Chain A
Amino acid sequence: MIAVLARAALPTSRAIRWTPIAGASALLLVAAMLTAASGRPADLLPAVAAAALASLLVGSLHDPAHDLLAPVPVSAMQRRALRLALMGGAVLLVWTALGLLAQTSPAATAVGSLLALAASGVAVAVWGPARTGVLLGAVVPVLWFAVDQAVPGGGLAADLVGLWRTDPWPVVAVALVVCLMGRHR
């Protein structure tokens, strides 16, 4: 199966739309350079970047030929994994560059929060309805970030919506388990 996926990697990479991630990366890197030049701390920038990049990563699961490819031996989950691996590599490169360019604390650019948002989105995309699952999944990271920004701190609700920042790895683990449970979807 690995050999098949390796052969499918190049055409799959051509089937993925790279323009959105390229545009978002350019915006984020320019913003990182500007914040660094201004000399002000910008810990919110990696948080915004995590939400946007995670959302675009989940959005890359959108496969127009899904219906045609549904009954091939390479399962939908394996095809999703291939897309995530290809897009994930690019996202991690952008994330690393962002960490190097922006003047932020090391905790702000830890990869856990990015993975927590992305894994949650993928879990929703896997379990969501066939037609709208990817869209719903792509919305999860940005919506979670926005709600986290809006909920006043100090209460249980704030602790819960802030889990992707404060305890990302348990979120990743739960999301991965949810994804594995839906591996035949």
Chain B
Amino acid sequence: MSAATTYAGVREAPGTLRVVCALAATEVRRVPRNLFLPLGLAFALWLLLGEIDPATEDWAGSSYEGMAVSSVSLMWGISVAAAIAFQRERVPVALGAAVPEVVRALARLLAMLPLLGLVGGFAALVAWRQRDLGGLTVGEEPGRTLEALQTTPELLQHVALAVLAVALGAALGRRMAHLAAVIPLLFLLWYLAGAFYWLYGHPAVTPFSVIQVQPVLVPIGPADADPLAFPDHWLLAAPNEYQDGWSRRFVSTSLAWWHNGWLLGLAQLLLAAALPSGTLRRCLLVGGVLLAVVSAVAEVRVIP
């Protein structure tokens, strides 16, 4: 008779945490079977270590911006992994079993934690790469630096994006009928967010973007303005074919922190869509709306 058996034929119910951990352990073993994950990671590493180089950058700051979006293919892989895991929840398996659907969903989410660890490692690699390159270029004379390093919240955006990627994959996987539609949709969402990040760089749009790429361009004067008249500590962008006047390249730690809050708020809302109705779902909805709204308002207030 096992220790968990109290009397003949009746088993003592194990704690929910133990059930979640046991389910998560089986799920974790399935995650690496997803082809998109290693491919996405390989592409992200190739981009970070092979392609992004300040010595060959197209404009001052393209390396700095590129590092913020270098993990997009990895995010696609993570979303697909989550979608595959949550798509299995559409199959009614052991509906009468003691473990409710919400616990099963939590176990699937727990199984995604190693992926967040992987992205954490990737963010650390980004930080190392910047230091290895001796810093990055941001801005144009007279407001220019050659030793820019992304701040902690900017680096942590990769992790916040991974949380969003898990939530997005979970929501689409749970709610859509077939992976043949989920995979291209995830591809489109992440590529539009990553490859066209400059679309969301306008001060009015950037608080609501998925990937926030700093510096944010804030118009400060016409083309004939004297750049030496601007404060010394401002990083500048000179007039070019895409902007008529001078702009300030605005970098802000608090803006990056609040944007991470915005991403986590969105992730909560998406997770609510992936979970069955109940208290947890309502809490996620309320918490997600609050966090997203507060973070977005704060971002708007931070941008000059």
Task: Tell me, yes or no, whether A and B come into direct contact in the complex with CB atoms closer than 8 A.
Answer: yes
List residues of A whose CB falls within 8 A of some B CB: 17, 19-20, 23-24, 27-28, 31, 34-35, 38-40, 42, 44-45, 48, 51-52, 55-56, 58-59, 61-62, 134-135, 137-139, 141-143, 146-147, 149-150, 152
A152 to B46, CA, bound (A): 10
Which residues of the partner chain A approach B39 to less than 8 Å between Cβ atoms? 143, 146-147
> Known contacts A20-B184, A134-B178, A146-B43; can you find 15 more A-B pairs with CB under 8 A?
A20-B182, A24-B184, A28-B192, A34-B196, A38-B198, A44-B196, A51-B184, A52-B185, A52-B188, A52-B191, A55-B184, A56-B181, A59-B184, A139-B183, A150-B46
Given A142-B187, A146-B43, does the pair A135, B195 have CB atoms closer than 8 Å? no
**Chain B residue at minimal CB-CB distance from A59:** B180
For the complex of A and B, 4 pairs with smallest distance between CB atoms: A59-B180, A55-B184, A20-B181, A138-B180
Contact in complex: A38, B199 (CB < 8 Å): yes
Main secondary structure of the interface of A (DSSP, over half): helix
Contact in complex: B199, A52 (CB < 8 Å): no
Which residues of the partner chain A approach B198 to less than 8 Å between Cβ atoms? 38, 40
Nearest-Cβ distance from residue B108 to partner chain A, whole angstroms: 20
Q: Which of these, A20, A62, A137, contacts B185 with CB under 8 Å?
A: A20
User: Does B118 sit within 8 A of A, measured CB to CB?
Assistant: no
Nearest-Cβ distance from residue B161 to partner chain A, whole angstroms: 18
Given A39-B242, A40-B242, A150-B43, does the pair A51, B187 have CB atoms closer than 8 Å? yes
User: Does B73 sit within 8 A of A, measured CB to CB?
Assistant: yes
A27 to B191, CA, bound (A): 11
User: Does B99 sit within 8 A of A, measured CB to CB?
Assistant: no
Contact in complex: A59, B181 (CB < 8 Å): yes
A102 to B73, CA, bound (A): 24
Main secondary structure of the interface of B (DSSP, over half): helix
Nearest-Cβ distance from residue A141 to partner chain B, whole angstroms: 8
Contact in complex: A55, B187 (CB < 8 Å): yes
A149 to B187, CA, bound (A): 13
Contact in complex: A31, B192 (CB < 8 Å): yes
Interface string of B109-143 (1 = CB under 8 A from A): 00000000000000000000000000000000000
Nearest-Cβ distance from residue A145 to partner chain B, whole angstroms: 8
User: Does B189 sit within 8 A of A, measured CB to CB?
Assistant: yes
Contact in complex: A34, B199 (CB < 8 Å): yes
Contact in complex: A149, B43 (CB < 8 Å): yes
Q: Which of these, A19, A48, A59, A146, contacts B73 with CB under 8 Å?
A: A146
A25 to B187, CA, bound (A): 13
Which residues of the partner chain A approach B196 to less than 8 Å between Cβ atoms? 31, 34-35, 42, 44-45
**Chain B residue at minimal CB-CB distance from A51:** B187
Q: Which of these, A39, A56, A147, contacts B184 with CB under 8 Å?
A: A56
**Chain A residue at minimal CB-CB distance from B39:** A146
Interface string of B164-180 (1 = CB under 8 A from A): 00000000000011111
Instruction: Tell me the B240-269 residues at the A interface (CB within 8 Å).
Output: 242
A62 to B195, CA, bound (A): 29
A179 to B43, CA, bound (A): 31
